[in-house]
Structure 1
């Protein structure tokens, strides 16, 4: 079956690449925020616990679309003032940067709970064994806690990433030329909404399938040492 894309094929391909870049960038930011939030919530001190709980509750309580709009439009005046104060002219946040920050914040809030659950699932005896061997707290975390936490958290993080991949469509509202934005442009010109929205749906589905295959191999790799130890 030959689908007429009215010359928008390259634009849609470029949009797919932009979607992948946006998703991976937001993933990196979200993993850092999620790990920091989980460590804060599992800390023995109350202030970090409150801070981690405030972050995850606040971000999860507001829709992702609103975060995209708030970060993109809400920083305009602040960045302009900073630029003028530094004498570098008016600064502004690009749609890509705003999308990465917004989606990374949202991913990190949900990842906080995934990491937190994974940390709590690790037996306390493992940490006690590390202390008995004379390992420092940082070394215990890197050598004992982090590998186990990653294995336990990976399925949940994988599901969050699949959601993140589809949530990149929200950034089209601030004119970032990813799959959805370019599909809307094509619909405006060609007046063929079903064709281009179906193509966009197939592109998102293809990216999701690729991500699922990659996550499957990552989960198998993360579980190899555990599988041998349990035999």
Structure 2
């Protein structure tokens, strides 16, 4: 079936590109936050454990849409104060930055649990072997723990990224021109909701398929040298 896009094809393509940028930016932020959260939750220090638990519990307990709205509208006064100090009283957090922070914050809270489970799945004897070889804790973390954790966590992170790709549609409520926002504008002009929402669905599906292929090769690469049990 060939859709008549009424001249909105370039706008939808630009929206798809914005969705990709938003998802990748949120992914980068979320991976950092998730790793820090997991290291905090598996730390022997109670204060860090409490910090990690608080982050994952609070963020996961609030819907993603509310985080987008809270960060976008809740930072107005703070950004104006910073702008006044910098001599730019009109300084504000744009939709892309607010959406990236909100989605990255949410992704990181779920990634925290994925990373934590992966860390706990690594046999304790590996750490003890590193200590016996005279490796520092930082070297053990970097050379022994993180490579194994990455392999174990990849499937879970892949699922979270699929969800993140679709959650980018939430940022349309603050005016970011991603796929859903572009489709909504096209619908309001052409009065063809089925056509443009179906096209938006196909774009999301295409992006998801590409992401799944990318995850397959990442998992394959991470599993190099790892011999699975035949049982």
Give the TM-score band, short-chain normalised: over 0.9
Q: Which residue of 1 aligns with 2:125?
A: 125
The 3-state SS of whatever aligns with 2:93 is coil
Unaligned runs of 5+ in 2: none
Q: Which residue of 2 aligns with 1:174?
A: 174
The 3-state SS of whatever aligns with 1:217 is helix
Q: Could you tell me whether the CA contact under 8 Å between 2:107 and 2:160 is conserved in 1?
A: yes
Q: Could you tell me whether the CA contact under 8 Å between 1:118 and 1:152 is conserved in 2?
A: yes
1:61 deviates by 0.1
Q: What stretches of structure 1 move > 2 A for 4+ residues in a row?
A: 85-90
The 3-state SS of whatever aligns with 1:214 is helix
User: Is residue 32 of structure 1 aligned with residue 36 of structure 2?
Assistant: no
Q: d(CA) in 1 for partners of 2:215 and 2:55?
A: 27
Q: Could you tell me whether the CA contact under 8 Å between 1:15 and 1:182 is conserved in 2?
A: yes
TM-score norm. by structure 2 comes to 0.97
1:226 deviates by 1.1
Q: Which residue of 2 aligns with 1:154?
A: 154
Q: Could you tell me whether the CA contact under 8 Å between 1:165 and 1:208 is conserved in 2?
A: yes
The size of the alignment, in residue pairs, is: 230
Q: Could you tell me whether the CA contact under 8 Å between 1:81 and 1:90 is conserved in 2?
A: no
1:86 deviates by 3.0
The 3-state SS of whatever aligns with 1:227 is coil
Q: d(CA) in 2 for partners of 1:149 and 1:24?
A: 21
Q: Deviations over 1:8-62 (max 9, x none)?
A: 0000000000000000000000000000000000000000000000000000000
Q: Which residue of 1 aligns with 2:193?
A: 193
Unaligned runs of 5+ in 1: none
The 3-state SS of whatever aligns with 1:44 is coil
Q: Which residue of 1 aligns with 2:17?
A: 17
TM-score norm. by structure 1 comes to 0.97
User: Is residue 213 of structure 1 aligned with residue 213 of structure 2?
Assistant: yes
Q: Could you tell me whether the CA contact under 8 Å between 2:99 and 2:171 is conserved in 1?
A: yes
